[in-house]
Amino acid sequence: MLKNDVPELLAPAGSPEALNAAIAAGADAVYLGMTAFNARMSAKNFSRSALCDAVKTAHAAGVRVYVTLNTTVLDREMASAIELATFLYRSDVDALIVSDMGLASKIHSLFPDFELHGSTQCSGHNTDAAVFLAEHGFSLMVAARELDRENLKKLTENSPIPIEVFVHGALCVSASGQCLMSSMVGGRSGNRGECAQPCRLPYNHRYPLSLKDNCLAGHITELMSMGVASLKIEGRMKSPDYVYAVVSVYRRLLDEKRNANAGEIAYLSEVFSRGGFTDGYFTGDHGNMNGIRSEADKAASAAVRPLYKTKPHERQPIESYNRTADPVSAGSAGKIATPHRIMSSARFYDASTIPDGKSFDIVYLPLDRFDGRKANGVLLPPVIPDSERETVAAKLAKARAAGVVHALVGNIGHISLAKEAGFVLHGDFRLNITNSESARLYSEIFDDYILSPELTLPQIRDIGGAKCVIIYGRIPLMLLEKSCNTTRLADRRNVVFPVLAEGGREIVLNSVPIYMADRRESLEKLGDFGGHFIFTTEGPQEVRYLLSNYEKGLPTKKEVRRIK
């Protein structure tokens, strides 16, 4: 949208009843999920017949329908995901919200006129990410929720596609698409729609990871002046009353082109909050963002009974798209190109722990700690908003001039930076590669790529190409924009998760490392692959011990985690 246009108001519809509430409250569009491949699998969601009814109801009211296919997809699920996308295409769904680049690539090749929105799970936080998505068939990017106003403004000014911003509802403390804690600790993957919300639990006898709900109702005019295309309200797990109450307030603010007053903020807080609201990511003030849902909050919500009124907007009905019944033939994609040799590699967070001699083909250090004497690769920061691009580009140029050859890239928005600096590019696990379609796409960009640590050995085996696997190390579980103000998080069982600084942010590490030194036979069944090591909290002596064990295929007495 152009600046000063009224943004689209996008509402959650976790059920048919919530859909009706969103329409009555004046939503311009709704987003909903089916019973598979959506990031809120615990919501009521929609059957196929209910979806068809929902589209007819919404379109009759002039409201667009976006369906979430925003989980990672396994090779053995890809055919089912494509079949579902085909059904949604034929059912007149207006757009799909997708995070898996392999799935998106396949859908775009089959249905080039099917609108794709880059989910927040894509971790899109800069203009380069928007450019990448545009080049790969997307027509909108959902911006990362951690962006402040300066970077949002830069993004909306320079993005080749419209930008959607999350304005109200529950906040994850970890960057979207970059949280593995529920998966690694509890066996329920947030990237697969099954998050158990470990961030809401106590650590160190406090709640350092539980954030208040986001509320940008006080910044509507600023968002409008930036040219934000769509304002998204969270809440597919919420009741129809919640949806109606919240959407109706934002509808009024947009229609009147103003910010919320104190009374409206108080009302929204009564509807649902966790000790009030935060706008800390948007303003850059992270000082008072933590909150939990108290009994007083619950009592306030129970007393709210919104009075449904006639919807404030009469829109023209949306006509049928009359889409072709058969997908466009994508042709044969062929095999994934595989180099003659996949390199062994390791990342270290402290140059002093890197052993002498050539233990690995590539040794990475974080960009702000690179040491050209011991490392021949740099690990790019996990987040590089537009305001930090020039600084990172200068550091990359310095590292390249010092003889560093390789760059480990974990975000679609960082590819062009590393490429411009002249590095050999390698894909990090943060890209969430879980299938051969994603591997095929990224094989055109990277020399090799580290697969998602959420995969099992059989799932890894299904993926061909220049794949690398993390075979030792504490997996980064969370990527924090807001500091948790500690170097260790101890849960209720006194299990300790170390916290390290990385690229100006923090990463929460798993309490135990992956260890596969004594599983050579299992690893050999994967076919060609490169082993990747992550050294974080280990000292020099422990690094030497671990490498010796790995060479000998010995077990360790320490508590470890295995790839199943």
| Neighbour count for residue 459 (Cβ, 10 Å) | 18
Cα-based distances in Å from 461 to 458, 469, 525: 5, 11, 7
Report yes or no: 480 and 174 within 8 Å, Cβ to Cβ: yes
CA 244, CA 50: separation in Å to the nearest integer? 20
Report yes or no: 476 and 432 within 8 Å, Cβ to Cβ: no
**3-state SS class at 251:** helix
Report yes or no: 405 and 425 within 8 Å, Cβ to Cβ: no
In a structure prediction context, what are the per-residue pLDDT tens digits for the chain, which is 564 residues long?
A: 334 489 999 999 999 999 999 999 999 999 999 988 875 656 678 999 999 999 999 999 999 999 999 999 999 999 999 999 999 999 999 999 999 999 999 999 999 999 999 999 999 999 999 999 999 999 999 999 999 999 999 999 999 999 999 999 999 999 988 999 999 898 888 898 889 999 999 999 999 999 999 999 999 999 999 999 999 999 998 999 999 999 999 999 999 999 999 999 999 999 999 999 999 999 999 999 999 999 999 999 999 988 887 655 778 999 999 887 677 765 555 667 655 467 899 999 999 999 988 889 999 999 998 877 889 999 999 999 999 999 999 999 999 999 999 999 999 999 999 999 999 999 999 999 999 999 999 999 999 999 999 999 999 999 988 899 999 999 999 999 999 999 999 999 999 999 999 888 999 999 999 999 999 889 888 888 999 999 999 999 999 999 998 889 998 888 999 999
Report yes or no: 121 and 39 within 8 Å, Cβ to Cβ: yes
Counting Cβ atoms within 10 Å, is residue 206 exposed (0-12), middle (13-18) or buried (19+)? middle
CA 128, CA 149: separation in Å to the nearest integer? 18
**3-state SS class at 269:** helix
User: How much is the pTM?
Assistant: 0.95
Pick from 170, 274, 223, 241: nearest CA to 7: 223
First to last CA, the chain: 47
CA 157, CA 140: separation in Å to the nearest integer? 14
**3-state SS class at 554:** coil
Residues whose CB is less than 8 angstroms from the CB of residue 322 and which lie 6 or more positions away in sequence, other chains included: none
Angle subtended at Cα 411 by Cα 348 and Cα 564, rounded to the nearest 5 degrees: 65
Q: Which amino acid is at 357?
A: G
CA 364, CA 380: separation in Å to the nearest integer? 9
The full DSSP string for 424-444 is EEEE-GGG---SHHHHHHHHT
